[in-house]
Chains A and B, each alone.
Chain A
Amino acid sequence: MARLALFLLVAALVAVPASAQMVPYASYTYDYWGVQIPAPQAYVPVRAISGNDIGVGALKAPQDIFATKSGDIYIVDSGNHRIVHVNQRFELIREIRGFTNGAKAERFNNPRGIHVSENGTIYIADRDNNRIVVLDADLTLIRIIGSPAVDKPEYFTKDFRFRPEKLTVDQYGSLFVISLGVYDGILEFDDKGVFLGFKGAPRVAPSIVDYIWMRIGTAAQRERMALFLPVEHSNLCVDDRGFIYATAVGGQIKEEERIRRLNAAGQDVLRRLKHLKPIGDYYASPPSYFVDVLARDLDIYSVLDRERGRIFTYEADGHLLYVFGALGDRLGTFHTPVALAEVDGHMLVLDAMKNNVTVFAPTHYQELIHGAIGAYHSGRFDEATELWKEVLAVNANFDMAYSGTGRAAFMQGRYADAMRDFRLAGDRQGYSEALEFYRKERIEQYFGWILLAVAVIILYALFATKKVTEGSVAEAKAQIAATYTEVRQWEEMQRRSLVINVKRVLRGLQFAFHVIVDPFDGFWDLKHEKRGNVPTAVTLLILEVITYLVMYQYTGFPFNTRNPRWLNIIAEVFSVVSPFMLWCGINWSLTTLMGGKGNFRDIFIASTYSLVPFILIVLPLTAASNVMTLNEAPYYWLFTTVAIIWSAALLFFSTMVIHEYSTGQAAAVSLLIVVGIAVALFIALLFADMFLQFIGFFREIYREYSLRL
């Protein structure tokens, strides 16, 4: 049975659990954690159409495909300098090789992009003729738009050549053009072909390394750097509402700005999730390289990734809906995909090396998703819910569908169900809202019991407080001090007794409460009165580790952004203990040099005591976080911050008291310790790396020896 996985794994059987229709790749989506998870096919490849199938001879390096709403398809057959116009059944309507300009017949030279507007006007980016040709539906020339540098030379460098690659036209007839070698943005022309200016130049985000090089590099080096900084647009399209989707490639553009949606003012208004932004494949190297974008109904858009031959489709908020396509030599896979179009629900992908168009037909799954989004958009929430449920029956891995059913459950007041669905969806906001109502409901339900519990607690607190106030703290201290000598002798006698040790630890723990409220006195006593001991310190350290693990695993869902499945217990323990020991070690090594009075034992004990507030605050906070909503997040973060600051302050005080430093000295030493830790880490990394290389070197020699001889 594992063969189902094994197909995927070993790829031995044709049968991916998918198809009577053959799909030569596995479909997937991403979950909340950015992990690829299997999904049903949203589209299946139906056929590949070559130039011969259309009856116009083989295509040659075609670069663009455009489909009108009415179902006409235009293929820009760049290598053959022509446009092939077919209907949606790929029957030839006409071949456009040129047009008549006055009395002169003119031809295209390497046309690269096309747009056909509703009224049939055809815009062609005639690249190697350095012009845009605008024809009406009967191929009568409307106008030729030449280089904008003629009218507005101030916008361009002297050696500028107008080489239009891609273009799109909005509903007002404004023309947006991407020209090869232009880095200032999209060229905008008005409906008369007059150049208006640049739009939406992508921001360049140089990396820190680049930045440093820019600072310290010579002029020549900087010059060279400048060459690879620019960002180019790769493609663009306009949606029904006049927004321009644009894809950008290369250079140091921010990952999430590879797809942008520009408004009339040229601002990017693309909605992105906080968590997984629409950037194609996550954690992929090299990243997705978008060469085309297609605006679809319901603010859904698809982008074409040339790097891995995949088409990603997102909805308006940035949720990934589905992925299809791959590179390869089979139907449904590409060699060099260049352009994307949609006609009659089918997706068309143009391949510049295979010289064909692959037609993808939507599946039931795709129809369900689009149906659900459509229903939601038009306010038919019940219908949307039903559709989302159907989606889940087909694909139990789909986060967005869980959000959908969760929302429905929420509306219907089934808060527990809503919480479950939102949790499955990884939807923290939704979960939190559901939790708020669920909590309210529960509180109302159990109000009597809660009242009773509160009363009991208050009574107990009063009683307990009374006890404390009866004997003053000083009195208690004296009492403790009195018994202290006696106890110590006793301890010396029975050092090995477990019971005694447990008592010692308990007493040590009790003392921790004193330390954290009165650090100066507390730390002094720890050291000089020998109130602390190593077993207690170790116990505290263990408690700290446990607290950390508990926080990791049991923090309420809205606040926990880690996946409890992925916990690696050893790594986690190490991640607490090692910085702690590093602190102690560096602290000791530095203070010994700087006249510190404390020894390692003192430092260790004091440091463990310093972290007690962390335990005291985080443990109850973690418990509370399970009933807290995101509205109460400020409190959560406040307490967390308090815990950290308190502990940090204690560490500082402990340094001061143990080593008998002044505040200034302590501050300086603390700073040095932090620096020391950084240095130590750096050296450790260096050593680790060298060690690994060393091992690798010998392994390599061994392997070469064993394989070659």
Chain B
Amino acid sequence: MKTDRSLTRIALLMTAVAVVFTSFCLCSPATAQVPRGFDAVAENEYLILHINSDTAEIAVTDKRSGDTWYSNPPDRDKVEKIARGDGKLALGAQFRLTYFEPGDVVRTVDSFVSSVAHNQFEIEPIENGVRVRYIVGRQWADRDFLPLFMSKDTFENEVLAKITDSRMRRTIEGFYILLTLEKSTGEGASIAGYSLTSPATTLKDRDQRTLTEVMIDHMVLNTSGLRDRNDIKESTLAPFIGTEFYMLKQRERDLLAWDLEDIVAVMKDIELDPSAVSDRYVQLGLDPRIQNIVVFHVPIEYTLDGDNLVVRVPASEIRYPKDVLNAEGQKVTYPLVTIDVLPYFGAADNTADGYMFVPDGSGALIRLNNNKTGLNAYAGRVYGRDNALSPPPASLDSKLCSFPVFGLKAGEKAFLSIIEAGDALAQITADIAGKRESYNTVCAQFRLLGHATTSLQGEVDSTHRESAQWVYGRTTINVYQEDIYTGDIQIRYAFLYGGDAGYQGMARYYQDYLVSRGWMTRLSPKDGTPLYVELVGAVTDFRPVLGVPRETIVPLTTYKQAKDIVSRIAAQGIEDIRMVYSGWMRYGISHVYPTGVKLEKALGSKSDLLALRDYMDSIGGRFYPSVDFVMIHRADLFSGFRPWRDASRFLNRTEALYPMVYAQRANPANRNPYSVYVLSPSRLDNLVSRYLKDYTSYGFSGLALGDLAFQLHSDFRHRATIDRQAARSIVEAQIAEAKNDYSLRLLAVGANAYALPYVDDILNLPTTCGGQDIIDETVPFAQMVLHGYFDYAGDPANFAPDRDHYLLKLLETGSAPYFLGYCADSSVLKGSAFDYLYTGEFEEWLEDAATLYSTANSVLGRVQSQRIVDHRKLLDNVYETRFDDGTSVVVNYSDSAVTVKGQKIGPLGFAVFEEELEEEQAI
């Protein structure tokens, strides 16, 4: 046995060497050739950053492989077959903005068409990279670059002198003429008693007449005070008299289109400032040229950091038109709502082979060019919905991304993006080629400013529409967050090649990333899988008492019963029991406002609870009483919770309150008397501290963060807005406090990335993706990142549709089994608001739990503290997961038997392979 192992170790080592060597050969050292049109602006030992000073595109050359990554597809002129016009030009954009016009019309602009195309950007070097400042929104119209009048001085020194091309200079000279106004001598044409003469040449009569007409037209058309030529008085002409000035010889409308283009091009070229032209106009009594007010200033910084490209958008420097004066002199605001950063980075064309990775649920792949052109693009919000933005939709649309990462693999190379700042505002979007563009793209969109639709009658957003619309004729308006997010947005791009170019490599990279920052530490080596058991203490129900329905406590598992249940589970030979106890405080699941520990009398006495705690300690299990901090179930007079003060606010300034109703309702007869408030993040600090102080006095060593680690929402209170990113910091600080100040062992529900540094166990870690139509494959990315660092479980086994399938999922994802239940007969819940616990009677699942556990433990027990090093699809519905020590588990979800590595695996069966000497083939 021992020799076996050392043999395989040698084999492994050799393989590794071979791999390194081959990759070295394949990816010949970079000649670091500069892509055409690009200039190198930063370089380190891994990467060279280039920027194209004409288009602001960037390119990153990887010295290790010689590959170059582009912010925009370099071959788009040839490849793009679908988008046309501006749509095609937009492929050159480094970001996209959406904003609202007054009147709630949404607009999208991109950095190419609205900024780079007008040359409205500047590139400045910064340490290790560059910063590009964009002005999005054309500031001046072409016409504004066409001066009708210019002072002699300006024209000769500022314009003519700067034109280097002599031919162009002559052309421009040809369009203008130096003139002056003199008291009319009665000959020729005149305006209000003055006639035009040219100091340089003598004008022919005909020319003089034409020029006079032109000047009159120039003036009438550009002065709001003049209705026609008869309005021109001597006083109107006063600024012209006695000065020499140049005038455009033709009427604007008579100019030929290409002449106009030429003049404008020249003027732009010499950087003529339209505002100077405008100033001159004002001096001459003409209307000033109005600058476009819908202009956004956006800076982006690109820097190299080791083998990563780091893209940063300092949102504090983003400017958008806020309370600006429009042409009518009214204050208007164009709220900037979202920004897509590098939407085309690494975009794969319509022939590429590979996939996009999105962190939906456990992780998901969207194959490049998968032909699903009729289906919606992928959009997944990082850390789920913001509950203060709008009430939850009537249907279940959970699209939870716990990790702020995404990536794309095309051919033998891949990139992984990690959102490092602004993650709580991010939404990851991915779309395939063949719909609007010929490229497959995946990127992050950031919500800079929350907005929602509200009806003037009261409700927010669309949720209540179904029932409410026929009640009133609705009047709705948009409401916006007061100010834009002012933190940073930062995305880190990592580049992977060869064997690493895949979701496996991405998971490994992200794992290393988290470890290197000290956010995860390896589990100490041990054998045995934990069993997660969640017991429900009590619920409430409305039952008639003396004829009057009153809220009564329905005990489901008393403290003593909980102890019995655990002891019976332990009697099955299960050692590592992790028990989550929810609904153990006053009023059970919908417990009191947690300002302190308040026990539920119906469940037993304090000593019973302490006995339970001691028992859990004595068997070496972990005990996690659960508490909800974020969702407030009770707001009665003596609870200490004052909705007007403590609840988050929706954008329409009402308190964030949801009826607790079962999802997918089309049915107003759902009479659930419960509703929940969303606590304002600003109150969280105080609440958690108070609770923890009391809680630790009970001597508990663990705490289950009921909703704290997965619910993240803003507070749109007027003049005291807390955006989601700020809320994320607050929540993180609370979890850190529980961990560091009270040294509690924490169990989190879901694995939102910011909670990872502090938690020990994770429950409800998704084992599948959300299943959007466009997704092709579920991958256990989350598990590949977390296994060996955390103990975790998915969803309760007894609620799973199929137990066999559940077991296979456990084995594939390395999840521990998890059961949720209670002691009482489940029929007591019928008709109550908690009837969603429709199964769970402990007697019903005890035996199942024992068998499921023993199977899972026999496979996963010995790899519990190891990392998942590989995961792959062998056949349709057949997957292999490989652990550090070479153990691999093959699961077969299909309903027919398959043969893998010479071993037959039955339908819904699995096989475990010990370390093998086939390593070389596998890689």
Contacts and interface: CB of A to CB of B under 8 A. Distances in A.
B827 A392 contact: yes
A184 to B, nearest CB: 32
B68 interface: no
A52 B371 CA distance: 8
Given A3-B706, A33-B669, A330-B771, A28 B397 contact: no
B547 A554 contact: yes
Please classify the interface of chain B as helix (H, G, I), strand (E, B), loop, or mixed, using the class held by over half of its residues: loop
B392 A396 contact: no
Contacts of B361: 14, 22
A363 B802 contact: yes
Nearest to A552: B547
Given A8-B662, A396-B826, A707-B652, A35 B670 contact: yes
A248 B397 CA distance: 31
Contacts of A3: 628, 706-707, 710, 749, 764
A364 to B, nearest CB: 6
Contact of A285 (B470, B772, B827): B470
B400 A20 contact: no
B761 interface: no
A10 B803 CA distance: 27
B829 A396 contact: yes
A28 B665 CA distance: 9
B408 to A, nearest CB: 21
A1 B589 contact: yes
Given A19-B795, A22-B768, A424-B827, A565 B475 contact: no
A1 B583 contact: yes
Contacts of B663: 7-9, 11, 16, 25-26
Contacts of B631: 2, 6, 10
A25 to B, nearest CB: 5
B768 A14 contact: yes
B658 interface: yes
Contacts of A19: 768, 795, 799-801
> Of residues B589, B633, B800, B837, which shows the largest number of chain A Cβ atoms within 10 Å of its Cβ?
B800
Contacts of B664: 25-26, 28, 36, 326
Interface stretch (B53-61, B413-421, B450-458): B450-458
A5 B670 CA distance: 14
Contacts, number: 308
> Of residues A20, A26, A393, which shows the largest number of chain B Cβ atoms within 10 Å of its Cβ?
A20
A50 B802 CA distance: 26
Interface string B126-157: 00000000000000000000000000000000
B838 A40 contact: yes
Interface string B652-689: 11000010111111111111000010000000000000
Contact of B385 (A11, A18, A58): A11
A326 B395 CA distance: 8
B396 A424 contact: no
A395 B839 contact: yes
> Of residues B361, B536, B836, B837, which shows the largest number of chain A Cβ atoms within 10 Å of its Cβ?
B836
Given A20-B795, A285-B470, A397-B830, A329 B376 contact: yes
B393 A50 contact: no
Interface residues of B, number: 109
B667 A36 contact: yes
Contacts of A281: 666-667
A127 B702 CA distance: 68
B750 A353 contact: no
A364 B837 contact: no
Interface in A9-43: 9-26, 28, 31, 33-41
A404 interface: no
B307 interface: no
A327 B104 CA distance: 28
Contacts of B534: 1
B541 to A, nearest CB: 8
A424 B795 contact: no
Contacts of A666: none
A117 interface: no
> Of residues B591, B770, B778, B795, which shows the largest number of chain A Cβ atoms within 10 Å of its Cβ?
B795
B263 to A, nearest CB: 44
B771 A9 contact: no
Contacts of A550: 547
B398 A7 contact: yes
Interface in A285-317: 285, 308
Contacts of B542: 565
A304 B543 CA distance: 37
B768 A1 contact: no
A567 B397 CA distance: 34
Interface of B: 361, 371-372, 374-376, 384-385, 387, 392-393, 395-398, 400, 454, 456-458, 466-467, 470, 472, 475, 477, 479, 534, 536, 541-544, 547-549, 580, 582-583, 589-591, 626, 628, 631, 633, 652-653, 658, 660-671, 676, 706-707, 710-711, 749-750, 764, 766-775, 778, 794-796, 799-803, 805-806, 808-810, 820, 825-827, 829-831, 833-839, 841, 844
25 contacts: A2-B631, A3-B706, A3-B710, A8-B661, A9-B660, A12-B400, A17-B796, A20-B767, A20-B805, A20-B806, A25-B395, A36-B664, A281-B666, A283-B667, A285-B470, A327-B395, A330-B772, A355-B374, A364-B803, A553-B544, A553-B547, A564-B544, A567-B549, A703-B457, A707-B454
Given A9-B392, A696-B472, 19 more contacts: A1-B706, A2-B591, A8-B663, A13-B384, A23-B801, A31-B831, A40-B801, A45-B771, A52-B371, A58-B374, A281-B667, A395-B838, A396-B835, A424-B827, A553-B547, A565-B542, A566-B671, A567-B548, A569-B548
